[in-house]
Copies of this chain bind each other. A is one copy, B any other.
Amino acid sequence: MAVTPEQQAEIDAARAASATTRRATVPALEALLFEAMPVLDHGFIRVIDYMGDDAAVVQAARVSYGRGTRKVSEDAGLIRYLMRHRHSTPFEMAEIKYHVKLPIFVARQWIRHRTANVNEYSARYSVLDKEFYIPAPEHLAAQSASNRQGRGEVLDAERAAEVLHLLRDDAARCYDHYAEMLNEGPDGEPADPSRPGLARELARMNLTLNTYTQWYWKTDLHNLLHFLSLRADAHAQYEIRVYAEAMLKAAEAWVPLTLAAFRDYRLNAATFSGPMLAVLRRMLDGEAVVQAGSGLSKREWGEMMGVLGREG
């Protein structure tokens, strides 16, 4: 379960409160605010706060005294221009904050994005809950033969059952021993008063990497898009991609003009190297170019033909 009834009650109370503001406000994102969007088996993404909207991008680009917006079509055109020419600073003028619950091995990838603010739940200070990520059988894949950091075929049912048994069993045992070493009762007092509990900062080292942690994570729109371009990409590991996809959905509600430009100029775009452009020009001139003699390696040739939707 991603959220306990007590936590849901806190969320509901936060959602019930409201105030009047002069700030830019986005009704479609307000509708989602605080609500947990489930991700994986026990994780979630919650939008906690935001600053600005599509118009804030436009307003900053124009260094305006007022709202700074004109007709929607003009604003959209400006946003597309900024995105296309990588004028990134106006996109830094909108900000968003999430509460995320995620497995530790996903958190370790995520934290590599340095241009963000983070407060993580501290296992030095508090006790972690007994919750681990156990993949659904359809996501249990073999090592890819062609890509050292990718997945291949889904495991057959028998092999999947073996793996799931190991994952569940080890995570549970490690957690139980963690709790035993801590020796903390529900009230924080020793469960067994006759012996001391191991320091939390030490006991945590016994947990497995699929244990869930949580954090507040805040970033600006430019850096969010950079994160999404890497993590919502098909090459990203499934377990982080699903978080990126949930964030993409919330961003769509927040800044629809920016997101439309982002899809066109980033997510669905492709970059061609100098040698690839030379090949492209020859093809457009009607030449039947093949890999040999193209100046591209087999791998690059395959990537390029894939993007162009051609056999090659």
Q: Which residues of A pack against B, CB within 8 Å?
A: 3, 7, 10-11, 13-15, 17-25, 30, 33-34, 48-52, 56, 59-61, 63-67, 77, 84, 86, 89-90, 92-93, 95, 97, 99, 103-105, 107-108, 111-112, 114-115, 117-122, 124-126, 133, 135, 140-144, 148-153, 155, 159, 163, 166-167, 170-171, 173-174, 177, 180-182, 184, 195-202, 204-210, 214-216, 218, 220, 230, 237, 263-265, 267-277, 280-281, 283-284, 297, 300, 307-310
Known: A118-B112, A204-B209. A281 touches B264 (CB 8 A): no
Bound-state CA distance A215–B163 (Å) is 29
Top 5 closest A-B pairs, CB basis? A10-B66, A268-B274, A142-B196, A92-B117, A19-B25
Main secondary structure of the interface of A (DSSP, over half): mixed
| 30 A/B residue pairs, CB under 8 Å, sorted by A | A11-B65, A14-B67, A17-B67, A18-B21, A22-B34, A59-B216, A63-B119, A63-B120, A63-B121, A93-B216, A93-B218, A104-B108, A105-B204, A111-B111, A111-B112, A140-B198, A141-B199, A142-B197, A151-B199, A152-B196, A166-B181, A174-B174, A205-B210, A208-B209, A264-B273, A267-B274, A270-B271, A280-B280, A284-B284, A284-B310
| B residues near A200, Cβ cutoff 8 Å | 143, 149
Which of B20, B95, B216 is the one whose CB lies under 8 Å from A25? B20
| B residues near A207, Cβ cutoff 8 Å | 208-209
A155 touches B196 (CB 8 A): yes
B173 touches A170 (CB 8 A): yes
A177 touches B166 (CB 8 A): yes
A40–chain B nearest beta-carbon distance, Å: 11
B22 touches A21 (CB 8 A): no
A191–chain B nearest beta-carbon distance, Å: 12
Bound-state CA distance A67–B108 (Å) is 27
A170 touches B163 (CB 8 A): no
Which of B97, B124, B215, B270 is the one whose CB lies under 8 Å from A237? B124
What is the chain B residue whose CB lies nearest that of A3?
A: B65
| B residues near A269, Cβ cutoff 8 Å | 271-274, 276-277
What is the chain B residue whose CB lies nearest that of A222?
A: B117
Bound-state CA distance A118–B18 (Å) is 31
B182 touches A143 (CB 8 A): yes
A270–chain B nearest beta-carbon distance, Å: 6
